[in-house]
Each structure stands twice: as C-alpha cells, then as structure tokens.
Amino acid sequence: MSAIDYSQKIPNNVDLKGDKRLQRALERWQPDYIQWWRDAGPTDFNEKDVYLRTAVSVDRDGWAHFDYVKMPDYRWGIFLTPYEGQRKIGFGDHMGENAWDQVPGEYRNWLRRLIVTQADTEPASVEQQRLLAHTAPSLYDMRNLFQVNVEEGRHLWAMVYLLHSYFGKDGREEADELLERRSGNADHPRILTTFNEPCQDWLSFFCFAMFTDRDGKFQLLSLAESGFDPLSRTCRFMLTEEAHHMFVGQTGVARVIRRTCEVMNEHPDACPSEFGAIPLEIIQKYVNFWASSSLDLFGAEVSSNSANFFAAGLKGRAYEDKYDEHSALDQGYEIQRWKDQKLVNDEVPLRNAMNEVLRDAYVKDNLKGIDFWNRECEKAGNPFRFTYPHRRFNRTIGEFAGVPFDTEGNPVSAATWAQKEHEWLPTPEDKGFVKSLMQQVTEPGKFAGWISPPLRGINGQEVEKPYVML
Ligand SMILES: [Fe+2]
Ligand SMILES: [Fe+2]
C-alpha cells in the first residue's frame, strides 16, 4: 500500500484512521506543531505562496507533486516505505531473526533515545534558518530554503509518529518536548551542539545543507538498517527527501565559487571582495567550520553506546548489505588515538568503533562534493583548490576534542593554533563581510552579486519563475 490518504487531517499511508486513539493523539499534537511553526519557523512568509513539492506517494517514481502552497497549509504527513513482507534483522546479535513490528521491551530506552536524538535535529534546523529568507539572494534560493524547512518539519512528523505510536505516554511527552526546546536557547537548547550554532548567512546555510544534512543522511542510512521495522521504513522514505537538501548545499556553494572565480577573472589584480564576491579563502574557512562541527555529530570514536546499538540490532552501518560479515564480532578496527600528547595507533573492537565506521562513509561522501567544487575552479582556470579539513581538526567531541590540530590533522601547539586560527576558521571580520553582502533579491530571475544563477530551475521550470509570490 503506497497510496497516501489525503482526505485525512493528517495525510498518511499508515492507515491512521484505523487506530482512533493514535489518530486523536496526533491530531492533538498537530495544532501545537503549527503553533511551533509560526513561532519558530520562517518569519514573515507564512502568507506567501511558495512553489513547493509535496510527497503524494512513496513510489520511487512520481512521489512528488509541485504546486504553490502557503507553508502553514503544507500537508505534513506520515509516510513510510511500504511494508515489503517479513524483513529479517541484518546485523548484530539478533541477525536472521524476524524484524520487530513492536518495540522490544529490553531495548525500549535505547530506541527512544535514538529516535528523540534524530527527531530533535529536524525542528532545530528550521529554527536555525528562520531569518534567512530576509536575505535570500533570489526567489529560487528562497524557495529552496522553504522546501528544506517544510521537509525538516515533515521529518519531525515522521519521528513523532513513531514516538506516539510505539512509546505510549513517554513518547507523547517526548513529542511535546520536541516543540519546546529551541535552537541556541541557553536554558532549553536542542540536544546536539551543531544544531545550536547560529546559521545567519547563506554561505553558512549552504555549508549546513552540504555537511550537516549529510550527517542526517548517514544517520538515516544506519537507522534504515534497524531491526525495528517501522523505524527502518520511516527512515528509508526520509532519505528520498533528504537528497534535495544536500543538492541545495552542494550546488549552493558551487554557485558562490563560480561567481567568485568569474569576478577574479574579470579583475585579476584585485581582491574579489572589492567587487562584492566572497574570496575563496573565506569560503574554505566556512567549509572548515561546518565540516568539522558536523563531524562531531557522529559521536566519540570509541563508544560503548554504538556497540550496544549495533549488538541490539537497532542501528547498523550505512549500506549494511555491502559488508561481507554482519556480526562485527571478534574483529578489530584500526584507530588513531591521542595519548600522552601523542598520536598512537590502536586497535579497538569493531563494534565499539561503529561511530567511526559511519564517519568514514560520511567523509568519503563529502570528498565527492569537494571534487565537485574544485571542478568549478578548474573550469574557470583558477588554481585554488578546496580541501576537506582533517577529521581531527577543530573537534569538540571524542578522542581529539579540544586538542589543537591543523587542517591536515597534525598536532600543533596552543600558540600555533592561536596564531593560525584566523586562517582556518571564519573571523568576526569574515563573518561581518559575508553578512554585509546578504541583501534580499526578489525580482524573479535575478541573483545577488555574490552568487551565480543555477544551471536550471526547479522541476524543469525556468530559472525566472517566481518561485515565491511576494
Ligand atoms: Fe531531515
Ligand atoms: Fe535535511
């Protein structure tokens, strides 16, 4: 059953009307959600028509419908990849057993924690981005921002469905708290640090969508392997939507680079900042910041939680079926550690290194994006090359937290760090300069001077389309 029932207050493909209690509970949560959207979501644009895609089916082809809609009227709903018959658990101690349709009692707390942590990131990012439309470089970009925002809202719905449906009273309380925490709020912050970082300019937004949404992709990939089948099916459909977010990030940064290279070619003897473009060195610093902050989201390199989640069959590796062996027992994983002020090689049990294994896959995926950006430089004949900072750089969680490493991963002294930090991470001046360029452009088909137009519009439409009706 992949058709989505849109006649319901809450669109869904989980036969919500067949479970009145659950339906009532979610319908009670719905107005609180809308209130959260109005209080903490994009400011001032709720009455505007936006050209948005909405999920109308969970089929691989033709799952999305595009039309103008006011954001508060967006049909946020509950869509799971259809039940494909009895799945087997694919890893850990329960490998080969039937996947669970209900939460196994002994894993209830762990599962709830995994779901709440994932859920919390979804509204957090909407909050982080709430002011950005005021400085959108074009209607095309403003629309993309709103698309990402409504889909993060839908991802919150996806997780709240699991909490309401499978975790009883505790789940309902968690769902309420998801609307109460606020990104960056000192008293009631979001759970993970990166999701409390301010995202006040569009270069940050694009880097966020590139690096932080990609963390989301890998968390979802590992949860899509879960032995808890409703979680697996929920995550698999979320991944379909998530791809667009990384597209926005990767092509967004690429367009900034393209514009800068263009200006550099026009004015070879000047700094591009004099002509309103963002110097490539500043872009690299933003990359360093968001890339390193997002690396923290995978958690500590050596983690007993990650071992427990894997053993229990709750959280696997990304693309688990590509591995030959799925118990991860009696195997080691080579890791570097920081001991007595030195880097040392160590082998840890593979299960304890699952965070690092997921981080490996994530880093590899990011490197493709870096290559994509460097092709922009190559095409423009610009010798600058972007690099991905080493995973030890600027970390605040895990083995290397708080230890100064350069962007290539070499340990440096505190004095060197202090001296070099401004070359590696955005300075207040850099941020001030980027901020000074952030001026809203609202004429259809026009773009701010610091970014190139995209190669094509959304859903085969022209770039000039008024994607947001102001
Ligand atoms: Fe998401
Ligand atoms: Fe996302």
Q: Ligand 2: distance of its center to the CA of 163 in Å? A: 20
442 belongs to a structural domain: yes
Q: Specify if 313 maps to a domain.
A: yes
Instruction: Return the number of other C-beta atoms located less than 10 Å from residue 470's C-beta.
Output: 13
Residue 111 maps to a domain: yes
Residue 367 belongs to a domain: yes
Cβ-count burial of 346 within 10 angstroms (0-12 exposed, 13-18 middle, 19+ buried)? middle
The CATH number of the domain holding residue 303 is: 1.10.620.20
In whole angstroms, what separates CA 16 from the centre of its chain? Answer: 28
Rounded to the nearest angstrom, the distance between the alpha carbon of 178 and the centre of ligand 1 is 14
- Residue 103 in any domain: the answer is yes
Q: Are 349 and 307 in contact (CB under 8 A)?
A: yes
Q: How many CB atoms lie within 10 A of CB 278?
A: 24
Spatial distance between the Cα atoms of 437 and 69, rounded to a whole number of angstroms: 29
- CA–centroid distance, residue 150 to ligand 2 (Å): 10
Cα-to-centroid distance, 453 and ligand 2 (Å)? 22
Domain enclosing residue 101, as ranges: 81-332+350-385+430-469
Q: What is the mean pLDDT of the segment spanning 260-285?
A: 98
- DSSP calls for 203-221: HHHHHIIIIIHHHHHHHHH
Spacing, Cα 345 to ligand 1 middle (Å): 35
Instruction: Summarize the confidence of residues 59-85 as an average pLDDT.
Output: 90
Distance CA 229, CA 207 (A): 32
Q: What is the mean pLDDT of the chain?
A: 96
CA of 130 relative to ligand 1 center, distance in Å? 15
Q: Which ligand is nearest to the CA of 157?
A: 1
Contact in structure between 329 and 124 (CB atoms under 8 Å): no
Average pLDDT over residues 51-75: 89
Cβ atoms within 10 Å, residue 387: 14
Mean pLDDT value of segment 208-224: 98
Confidence of residue 1 (pLDDT cuts 50, 70, 90): very low
Q: How far is the C-alpha of 139 from the C-alpha of 117, rounded, in Å?
A: 33
Q: Is residue 122 part of a domain?
A: yes
Tokens of 259: 């514009």
pLDDT digit string, tens, across residues 97-141: 999 999 999 999 999 999 999 999 999 999 999 999 999 999 999
pTM of the model: 0.97
Look at residue 340 and tell me if it is in a domain. Answer: no
Domain count, the chain: 1
Structural domain includes residue 401:
no
Q: Which ligand has the shortest distance to the CA of 118?
A: 1
